A and B are shown apart, each in its own frame.
Chain A
């Protein structure tokens, strides 16, 4: 479903080059729940950004359902991110002006849904993560755990092929973290492909496969 071949990522700052990824190859099949783990600075998040088309690798290939990402235009990548991927960020990344429902509605509208149908789907997604009672709350009126669950609802409302999660529990207390991980497990059971970056062993072990990165390489 998604394959990375010999990915490298190098950041340049003047004459200084920092090699964050040093030839990473990887493959995830449909329905898998993968955890990308490693210590801080190992390149986990950078790797996730390349896989999820948020960034462009310096060299190497990413193949999504048989399509080579390097051949895609920015517009195509945008459509891919919208229709095929779902994202859960470490800091929830909800729009502060929009209620939980509206945050989930926006990408659905972008997919061409009519407002009523988008609201129905968004409400369903929010109910699925236990936020049926928070539909009209602004992010500032919700706890961190609730915001992260709203973020998950936004990511899954359009039934993405792959759900990317970047340290989804890093900012949460234990109870909220466990709740989030429960949701991920349920999604996985329902057939959702999940690629999750985490540095927490306990949650990483919940995935069916762990990919460990160290110093920009898979170990």
Chain B
């Protein structure tokens, strides 16, 4: 079928047909191909990008490249000072932040509460003790202040509170208390009662943190020196050590280095990817599958469109197809000419699509992430995956062009010439 001669004739006919076809018809078909391409790539890319946005935010604003956390059943990372000393000697580490974590309760309006029993305006939450400047440098926490001001190392009894813990900002508020308890009537300057174990202290809200990451927007933050005093952590053993590595350093290789250095005897060492909860990966896979399903529908629609276009084209040119066969042109050459036409539509549509995708959409969405409630969605379109989709589109389109051409070409030559059914 694909003899060089047939390909040559097919190309010759297709090229001239495309050259002299109506510019509007060609533009419309190419436009359909462009939309199909974008549907194939962008829908999946946004769905996957939604989760990738979460992952990226976790990495940038919380975990870094590698994180050390307490061993199972432990509250802190043993030998934390020694581990920090080791990290300071490793040139791969470009930045790090440390956190003390503990659980506590926070009570508001307790001075004016006149009811009996427990004041209902309280929440249980995780309290993080941080080095404000190191944390800001590492996670840009200071840039997430919704209201008020960021912490200073010397602040005393000043706290930052995640917006999702406050009724006026929380998406969980007003739900009948089913999902999460929140504090009512608390804002910057409010005085709250913090209880950690048996220790109580009055703290003042200095600022409110707003982030789409639950880990950041559900916590209470205070300077590490303050929290250490509250929980009596005089051994300086930490709850989290997050670190960022020099570009090009493989986190897995670096993790192995820490494990070989014995760090894993005192804490769990995980790369960023390992630290992502399994559920997030499952969501990624599910969204990718959904994207593929939607894209498949788009692919089928495009194939049907091309089928109809080529079928109508071949049907209206049936007489000429008959004449070509009549004067001795191989039917295969005629079929190949239609395959070339389909290939042209798919290639031009995909080419414009690639230019739009990588020249405009990807950089634009990267600069202006899509504001999803739980992440800043980006457009994930890795070139190898995109090329696979381009190949899919081209193959589907060429097949969709071939089938109707074949249907018309195989009709009786004389019937085609004379227009008989």
Which A residues form the contact surface with B (CB < 8 A)? 49, 54-55, 78-83, 85, 87, 89, 93, 95-98, 102, 105-107, 109-110, 112, 138, 154-155
Contacts and interface: CB of A to CB of B under 8 A. Distances in A.
Contact of B9 (A81, A89, A109): A109
Interface residues of B, number: 24
B329 interface: yes
Given A55-B414, A82-B329, A98-B16, A109 B324 contact: no
B326 A87 contact: yes
A123 to B, nearest CB: 16
B417 interface: yes
Contacts of B219: none
Contacts of A89: 323, 417
Contacts of A96: 320
B318 interface: no
A113 to B, nearest CB: 10
Residue from the set A83, A85, A95, A96 with the largest chain B CB neighbour count within 10 Å? A95
25 contacts: A54-B417, A55-B414, A78-B328, A82-B328, A82-B329, A83-B328, A85-B328, A93-B320, A95-B13, A95-B323, A97-B20, A97-B21, A98-B13, A105-B12, A106-B9, A106-B12, A106-B13, A106-B324, A107-B327, A107-B329, A110-B9, A110-B328, A110-B330, A110-B333, A155-B327
B327 A154 contact: yes
Contacts of B327: 81-82, 87, 107, 154-155
Contact of A54 (B17, B20, B326, B330): B326
Nearest to A83: B328
A110 B329 contact: yes
A154 B329 CA distance: 13
Identify whether the interface residues of B are mostly helix, strand, loop, or mixed: helix
Contacts of B9: 106, 109-110
Identify whether the interface residues of A are mostly helix, strand, loop, or mixed: helix
Residue from the set B13, B319, B320, B328 with the largest chain A CB neighbour count within 10 Å? B328
Given A110-B329, A110-B330, A54 B414 contact: yes
Contact of A109 (B12, B325, B413, B417): B12
A97 B16 contact: yes
Contacts of A80: 328
Nearest to B329: A110
A85 B325 CA distance: 13
Interface in B310-327: 319-320, 323-327
A116 B17 CA distance: 20
B5 interface: yes
Contacts of A112: 5
A85 B328 CA distance: 9
A110 B328 CA distance: 8
A106 B17 CA distance: 13
Interface string B126-156: 0000000000000000000000000000000
Contacts of B325: 78
A119 to B, nearest CB: 11
Given A54-B414, A87-B327, A93-B417, A102 B333 contact: no
A83 to B, nearest CB: 7
A154 B8 CA distance: 19
**A-B interface, 4 closest residue pairs, ranked by CB to CB distance from nearest:** A82-B328, A81-B328, A93-B323, A97-B20
Contacts of B324: 95, 106
Nearest to A102: B16
B320 A95 contact: yes
Nearest to B326: A54
Interface in B211-270: none
B123 to A, nearest CB: 75
Contacts of B19: 97
A102 B330 CA distance: 17
A97 B17 contact: yes
Nearest to B328: A82
Contact of A106 (B319, B326, B329): B329
A210 B21 CA distance: 44
Contacts of B13: 95, 97-98, 106
A143 to B, nearest CB: 20
B145 to A, nearest CB: 67
A110 B5 contact: yes
Nearest to A138: B20
A80 B329 CA distance: 11
B403 to A, nearest CB: 21
Residue from the set A79, A83, A105, A106 with the largest chain B CB neighbour count within 10 Å? A106
B328 A49 contact: no
A102 B19 CA distance: 13
Given A54-B414, A93-B417, 7 more contacts: A55-B414, A82-B329, A83-B328, A93-B320, A97-B19, A98-B16, A106-B9
